[in-house]
Structure 1
């Protein structure tokens, strides 16, 4: 499948919206017909197999737009404002502010519903199935996840979750590229790849945990272990110490924790440490060294590297942004 196939899906959708071309250069700008509403759609092609669409518009009256997709594709959406309903095969879905939505679709019939006089702002990223498969390949060439495996017998599947702090920062960066004149395609591509990577990791890769039989009491103890780690974030107990504190053997703690929370005990602690670091830096009251110490990192350089991997930005840059 070529890139033009997924672009045809976008062409069909925007044709239904009664959009008018404004100008065409490295991006395409479209505006709503003044009798229908106000606002715009901007389309970017960071590379041949990737389309980025930023929509910011308001319909004067409630609208239902029907669409038959022509080609299978994967689409990642970040809803920034307003809401949109999607009806596929009798099932209703909602795109709501603050949600990240990963959608897998084959050829299907869909209806999109908009509320009149409600501003709607969304960033969408579309890739063909061939590119998704390329992204899912491991270093040895094997592929653990297939498009058809995700869809099963359905023609549409959607994963949704609240936007994480890391994804929020990466999204802000991409929106800056969208609005900055002269942005190079490589800048946009790197930013978009970061968003795709985080979404695939969260929705598809972290969820591959074997079922572990846990009693209600086991779950309560494992939840207690999580609370202890959060309370003692700067100086956490070792795994054997944590096991003794909650009265559960370390094997059941390790396997049960991963089954319940999708990661290891210390993987979870690392994520929460870095999320707290992001919060502290945004407050602007601590410098990078103080923030590193507050969350339990004794080596500031190691903290900065871990922060950059998670948040896709240097901690110093985050702090300067919010001062």
Structure 2
């Protein structure tokens, strides 16, 4: 039995604080710690037709989340967490949204959907809402968007595959996730610059993605690669060798190495390190634990090595994260 959370339950804490693309410039940082789980939302409106939201959550049981849209807009959405299942409330059609995939589309006021999330699996989504005319200007000379076949379409929404999230996009998404919670005016300008760069990279990525070195992956291969990714996530403190991972995922080692990077935009152990560091960042931000404990919980025995790669990943040290959280609690 899944826990159901309606948009009404989150209206005062989240929904009414989120702006539409043509709203005034502003930011909102929202954190919820409830019996159903933890949700962290950072929201930013540029004031000229573009909004950005990051949604990081962990639910304590299988959860169905109701999502209501109250404005017309185009969008780019990025899933960098676990697989999400989306269901349209009107057509009842369900769509699987795998990790490391960017979607684009157009939605209208009144659209309602439901997202299904597995318990204790990290949800990390990024959403960019754009004024429809602005987005049309961005893509007017891009033939891909003229010929695109929707993954899903109904009266109030159209969803299209944009691209597998590449390394450049991933770096920008990491930067946005880090800076969107900061209040410094200079950081806000930095946030805006990275947001615009991400839009440019995402709109043009469909043209510049090279398929020359790609290998053919069947539906069974994709299933095996997702199995490998989930096995890594569930064994972050004691990860398997590539040979063992290939065996457990029912795929040969060559396809595991080549296909993993092709589908998820990172090597097997590059993905593992990123996931470990994001999990550690979440632990440091939302739990009263020290740096050494966080390091051990995500599989790093040497806290000094952990701190070094953490700072390289996020541009801020674990100690600074803890200090910032103490400052927030104090104020």
**TM-score (structure 2 length as normaliser):** 0.48
Larger-gyration structure (1/2): 1
TM-score by length of 1: 0.49
